[in-house]
Amino acid sequence: NTRRLLIEEGFAYHMDDYSDDLPFWHDEPAGRIAIVPYALDTNDMKMWTDPAYTPAHWFDYARESFDRLYREGVAGEPKMMSLGVHLRIIGRPGRIGWLERFLDHVQGHEGVWVALRRDIADCLP
């Protein structure tokens, strides 16, 4: 019922889906909605829950994930990396620098699009 309700209320996308790594369309009798999958493994909640990552552990994991996906993308397989970040977690003074380092790393690679989920949904064919 969630997707039907989102469609009926005019939402552009649904992100509470872990069934795929790439965005896709989902059809319901009420209409169609873009699914932009979510991932928990690269989420900054890993620094909040027990056993918790340190900010450096989170950065290393996110960087390794990005690097693998980038190599696979360059080889011709489309990729998307979901990065869930929260002001109350990564936005803290002792952690925000690790997000900045990660974004610097990502932006040092050609052909990478850092986008909001809405932008991704808008680009689905």
How would residue 35 be classed by pLDDT, with cut points 50, 70 and 90? very high
User: Which backbone phi and psi does 87 adopt, to 5 degrees?
Assistant: -55, -40
pLDDT in tens, 72-124: 999 999 999 999 999 999 999 999 999 999 999 999 999 999 999 999 999 99
pLDDT of the residue at 79: 97
pLDDT in tens, 38-56: 999 999 999 998 889 999 9
Residue found under tokens 């989902």: 26
The parent domain of residue 97 ranges over: 2-123
CA distance 50 to 62: 18
Model pTM score: 0.90
CATH code of residue 105: 3.20.20.370
* Integer CA distances (angstroms), 106 to 7, 46, 66, 69, in order: 33, 20, 8, 11
Structural domain total, the chain: 1
How would residue 1 be classed by pLDDT, with cut points 50, 70 and 90? confident
